Amino acid sequence: MTDEQLLRYSRHILLEELGVEGQERLLAGHALVIGTGGLGSPVALYLGTAGVGRITLVDNDVVDLTNLQRQVAHNLARVGRPKTESAREAIAAINPEPVVRAITARADAALLDELVPPADVVIDCSDNFGTRHMINAACVKHGRPLVSGAAIRFDGQVTVYDTRDAKSPCYACLFAPADDFEETRCATMGVFAPLVGIVGAVQAAEALKLLSGAGTPMAGRLQMLDARSMEWHEVRVPRNPSCPVCGGR
């Protein structure tokens, strides 16, 4: 690392669990972030400030005035512009070192098959079950750890799916692809602004732990937050041997 990097990342380097070696792993790491809205904003910013070397951002949406209540990577001057480009600029304004690729497109199966294999960690910040299942399938297929989060109204949840561990479930173990879930969106249900920041920050922390080797990942533990009372609840989740996505692996 350069002298400037030693200074910039000094508060990480001081941590015994990270140190110089952990920070160097972050600098060499590649994170794929699907969605740059409420959850993706804090994820992208924290990955950037922490010095993750390569960050790929995927989102097909543009910045809207209604986003600014909670999507902290964007600002009024960038309304109407692609969210991926806005988030890339927000990262660069704090730390110009990470190489950030902005892809303004919907994350479909073909794109995920291209983007997931070279990534060291995938962070799902999307807002619909169809995309989440495609991301999960790609991560299982290519053996990549997946950090998943969701937030609506005052309720949030976050976990890590890492099927490289034989005991760890995948997203489909909890939410079967065949199940008919009713989609709930912020535009109709609303969302408490700090909630996405809390969940997104936990996602960023789990991604940084996976990249650096620090700590113990949250795999197999689903954490749920009720922001009305600010209470966390945890559920242990085993792999489903009959899962249509990872059960046979």
Q: Which residue has the higher pLDDT, 247 or 35?
A: 35
Specify if 245 maps to a domain. no
Overall domain count for the chain:
1
pLDDT 10s digits, 184-228: 666 678 999 999 999 999 999 999 999 999 999 999 999 999 999
Q: Lowest mean pLDDT: which of 18-27, 62-71, 171-180, 236-245? A: 171-180
pLDDT bucket at 249, cuts 50 / 70 / 90:
low
pLDDT per residue as tens digits for the range 17-45: 999 999 999 999 999 999 999 999 999 99
Yes or no: say if 238 and 169 are a contact pair by the CB < 8 Å rule.
yes
Q: What is the pLDDT of residue 177?
A: 83
pLDDT classification of 247: cutoffs 50, 70, 90: confident
Q: Which amino acid is at 125?
A: C
In a domain, 229, yes or no: yes
* Domain of residue 218, residue span: 3-236
Residue 124 lies in a domain: yes
Half-sphere exposure of 25 (CA within 13 A, CB side): 17
- Least confident span in 15-24, 107-116, 171-180: 171-180
Question: Would 72 be classed as within a structural domain?
Answer: yes
Q: Is residue 248 one of the residues assigned to a domain?
A: no
With pLDDT > 70 as the criterion, what percentage of the chain qualifies? 96
Pure H helices in the chain: 3-8, 10-13, 19-28, 40-50, 83-94, 109-115, 129-142, 171-174, 186-189, 193-212
pLDDT interval class at 176 (50, 70, 90): confident
Helices 193-212/19-28 angle, 10° precision: 110
In a domain, 36, yes or no: yes
The answer as to whether 249 is a domain residue is no
Cα–Cα distance measured from residue 10 to residue 27, given in angstroms and rounded to the nearest whole number: 13
How far is 75 from 72, CA to CA, in rounded Å?
7
CATH assignment at residue 136: 3.40.50.720
179 in a structural domain: yes
75-100: pLDDT as tens digits = 999 999 999 999 999 999 999 999 99
